[in-house]
Structure 1
Amino acid sequence: MYLLVVLAIFTFILAFVILKIYLKLTIGKCYCNVYLNGKVALITGGNSGLGFHLALALAGRGCRVIIADKDDCEKTKENIIAQTGNSNIVTKKFNLASLRSVRELVKDITDSEDRLDFLINNAGIGGTGKSYTEDGLDLGMQVNFFGHFLLTHLLIGLLKKSSPSKIIFLSSKLAFFHNLSLDNLNYPQDQVGVVSAYLKIYANSKLCSIIAARELSKKLTGTEVTVYAVHPGVVYTQIYLRNGKVPSLTNTIYKLFNTIMTKPLSRSPEEGIQTALHVILCKQIVKDTGKLFAECKVHRPPAKAEDSDFAKKIWNASENYVRLNPNEII
């Protein structure tokens, strides 16, 4: 019995090590060496995690970087300037959990910027439990998707003016574990349970980002604005530590799982931004507008994202949820 236990432990450890090695060896790398002097990028959630490292990478290539975040970003700005020598860094404070705040940010951007070359919809939040915003929207869905959906619509004019330009939606392979429907696009409060709080709402929001990229690319046919969804891989960032209002026991189990399994198998933020960088910098992917990228190459999306009828219904419902004016509809 003792030998069986030892053998089982050894087998698990060996499998774990092999998996970690495999994951490291299959990480995509961006080889596009493009200088971005004169270009402008707006990154949501650029104060930490992937957003910060993307801001750092773009600033290092001479890009003017606008970091839009709900937290104060002045220290982040100083850090980026110190590391890159690029002082052309701007910070904006806004909250994706407020449609009003999104509109205020857009007014600020359009009043102060002559161009926008890259819109990077990066900000996100993990499990949120039974939390709803002042707009009556599920907190996770609004921060991860609805807020970016509105932001993108309102900045289309500036992106067209600056074309060729790109829109990037940060997504996740967790989108494959969705249960998205028209009925739970704005997750009903009576359906929010433990699993939903940690997986389904997040997964649904990431599927919506993939759908938005596909549908928006169709609507922008004939323009030089291209759109992409990006899966960065499993990256252990602050999103794993911001769990919203969830039961304490569930939260404890969640953090324990992340410490034991997720963190050891995760890639670094520098590795996690490679696909996003590839999409931002590579000029040869124009033909792949609307597609999902992972490991710096096109990746097949969840089946629901390829269901045109379903995608159109999600798009139309999203327009209503974010309260677009008739002249703002693309």
Structure 2
Amino acid sequence: MARRWSLEDMPDLTGVVALVTGGNAGLGLATVRQLLARGAHVVVASRSVERGEAAVAGLGPQRGTAEVLPLDLADLESVRLHAKEVSARHTRLDLLVNNAGIMMVPPGVTRDGFERQFGTNHLGHFALTGHLVDLVTAAPAGRVVTVSSQAHRVGTLDPAAHEAPGEGYRKVRAYGTSKLANLLFTYELQRRLAARGSRALALAAHPGTAGTGLSDHLFPARLRRLQPVFRRLTQSADDGALPTLRAATDPGALGGQYFGPDRLNQQRGRPVVVSSSEVSYDPEAARDLWQRSEELTGVSYPG
């Protein structure tokens, strides 16, 4: 039996330039920690520069270096300005980790008027990747890794998913739809990169069930006492980040692969290649979503 992948399998990343969205907490911070430990220079994208800098300072001495830049994925102008600043500072981007997200939140809209889970989790990352894709393809072996979720299986191909939520809003379904969009985007991006003859790869990952701050709001006040029990049943953020780290650094990984935990129905364990839902592989649905995303964000990818 082949040895299971672990952090020991991560290569030396000296000279690698990486960007991690939501790198100031949870899975993102766990990802940043390991990239730095192997020598990468990491751009930590955080809504709050102060919180980002405090989080990086808390990591202690690292082999790599980090810089914290502001990014609000729920604001397309913030996305544009962030990408402009990254492009001014770096001539290539070896690794873009689309990690940040919001989960099963009450109804609301982004600054641009989109349903906020779809707008943040998908449209924000679609726009960011579009602004930075030339930097990724300028790297010798660039990668875009987008973090999805098992919840994508309850998502739908809803052409109105971006619209402000109405009376029929269901936060779990809306979250699942945004995570399905992450996968449709990843697989279509890989097809487009390959068609261009680019060596860059697009991959996806999911953490299984990880006990991070992202899910804290799921417990109403009357059930808050159950939170510690839930945390004991889940993986740590460090373990939840392993699929992302494998997708980001495994030299044997292929474009279009999806990584997740290998045990308990992909809820916990070591990272392996997993399958996503049948609809997530639908190329026509992916092309439709891509066209709609370009129209909504105003961001067009190079042909």
TM-score by length of 1: 0.81
> Is contact 2:46-2:69 (8 Å) kept?
yes
- Structure of higher CA gyration radius: 1
Which of 273, 276, 286 is residue 301 of structure 1 equivalent to? 276
Read off the aligned partner of 1:233 and give its amino acid letter. Answer: G
Which of 125, 141, 150 is residue 118 of structure 2 equivalent to? 141
Q: Distance in 2 between matches of 1:313 and 1:253?
A: 42
Structure 1 residue runs of 5 or longer lacking an equivalent are: 1-26, 244-249
SS at match of 2:144: strand
Change (3 A) 1:215 1:85: closer
Q: Distance in 1 between matches of 2:151 and 2:291?
A: 23
Residues 88-167 of structure 1 aligned to structure 2 (within 5 Å): 88-167=65-144
SS at match of 1:297: strand
Q: Which residue of 1 aligns with 2:165?
A: 189
Change (3 A) 1:265 1:136: same
The structure with more helix, counted as a fraction of residues: 1
Query: Does 2:242 correspond to 1:237?
Result: no
Read off the aligned partner of 2:83 and give its amino acid letter. Answer: V
> Is contact 1:125-1:242 (8 Å) kept?
no
> Is contact 1:213-1:291 (8 Å) kept?
no
1:96-131 deviations in Å (ceiling 9; x for gaps): 110000000000000011221000000011122220
Q: Distance in 2 between matches of 1:187 and 1:43?
A: 27
Q: Distance in 1 between matches of 2:226 and 2:258?
A: 28
CA deviation after TM superposition for structure 1 residue 307, in Å = 1.6
> Is contact 1:145-1:209 (8 Å) kept?
yes
Q: Distance in 1 between matches of 2:221 and 2:154?
A: 22
> Is contact 1:168-1:230 (8 Å) kept?
yes
Q: Which residue of 2 aligns with 1:266?
A: 234
CA deviation after TM superposition for structure 1 residue 259, in Å = 4.8
Query: Does 2:42 correspond to 1:65?
Result: yes
Q: Which residue of 1 aligns with 2:251?
A: 283
How many aligned residue pairs are there?
Answer: 287
Read off the aligned partner of 2:287 and give its amino acid letter. Answer: K
CA deviation after TM superposition for structure 1 residue 310, in Å = 1.6
> Is contact 1:29-1:271 (8 Å) kept?
no
Change (3 A) 1:97 1:192: farther
* Paired-residue identity, %: 25
1:199-228 deviations in Å (ceiling 9; x for gaps): 111111111111111000000002111011
Q: Which residue of 2 aligns with 1:19?
A: none
* Greater CA drift, 266-275 or 56-65: 266-275
Read off the aligned partner of 2:153 and give its amino acid letter. Answer: F
SS at match of 2:31: helix
> Is contact 2:10-2:246 (8 Å) kept?
no
Q: Distance in 2 between matches of 1:300 and 1:121?
A: 19
Structure 2 residue runs of 5 or longer lacking an equivalent are: 262-270
Q: Distance in 2 between matches of 1:123 and 1:35?
A: 25
Q: Distance in 1 between matches of 2:85 and 2:292?
A: 27
Which of 11, 36, 52 is residue 29 of structure 2 equivalent to? 52
Q: Distance in 2 between matches of 1:64 and 1:192?
A: 44
> Is contact 2:110-2:120 (8 Å) kept?
no
> Is contact 1:50-1:273 (8 Å) kept?
yes
* Greater CA drift, 71-80 or 270-279: 71-80
SS at match of 1:278: helix
Which of 13, 16, 36 is residue 36 of structure 1 equivalent to? 13
Which of 53, 62, 75 is residue 54 of structure 2 equivalent to? 75
1:167-186 deviations in Å (ceiling 9; x for gaps): 00011111111133223x21
Q: Which residue of 2 aligns with 1:178?
A: 155
SS at match of 1:75: helix
Q: Distance in 2 between matches of 1:85 and 1:34?
A: 13
Read off the aligned partner of 1:263 and give its amino acid letter. Answer: R
CA deviation after TM superposition for structure 1 residue 241, in Å = 2.4
SS at match of 1:189: coil
SS at match of 2:178: helix
> Is contact 2:110-2:116 (8 Å) kept?
yes
1:37-68 deviations in Å (ceiling 9; x for gaps): 11110000010101001101000000001100
TM-score by length of 2: 0.88
Change (3 A) 1:321 1:293: same
SS at match of 1:90: strand
